[in-house]
Structure 1
């Protein structure tokens, strides 16, 4: 699966979910995915990548 979202550890020890194409932090609704625990960030990366894959598959027909 081609992953659009990934995570990175920030210098302060928190984690950011980011868009691999732009390098910018991902957003869900009005929340920017920064300052997270590794567990939470990892769960969101899995969710966003699965959701993105399902959307692409549906668009292909």
Structure 2
């Protein structure tokens, strides 16, 4: 059994002094409903990365619908 990382998403500080959510597996900006998650304030990005990682963990466990 392969031991996958617990988190899939990370914060990225962009040159324009905003924040984005990065998919650590692909290196690409994460998307929610086809909207790239970039240009965010730090507080919003931090909350969103936590939510996306929780969803990813639950999906791997099979506990989401």
Is TM (by shorter chain) over 0.5?
Answer: yes
- Separation (CA, whole Å) in 1 of partners of 2:34 and 2:28: 15
Deviation at 1:41, TM superposition (A): 0.6
Question: Structure 2 stretches of 5 or more lacking a match?
Answer: none
Indicate yes or no: 2:53 matched with 1:52.
Answer: no
Deviation beyond 4 Å, 4+ runs, structure 1: none
Output the CA distance in 2 between the equivalents of 1:35 and 1:27. 12
Counterpart of 1:28 in structure 2 is: 32
Aligned residues: 59
Greater helix proportion = 1
**Superposition RMSD on alpha carbons, in Å?**
1.4
Q: 2: CA distance between counterparts of 1:31 and 1:40?
A: 15
Q: Secondary structure in 1 aligned to 2:11?
A: strand
Shift of 1:2: 1.5
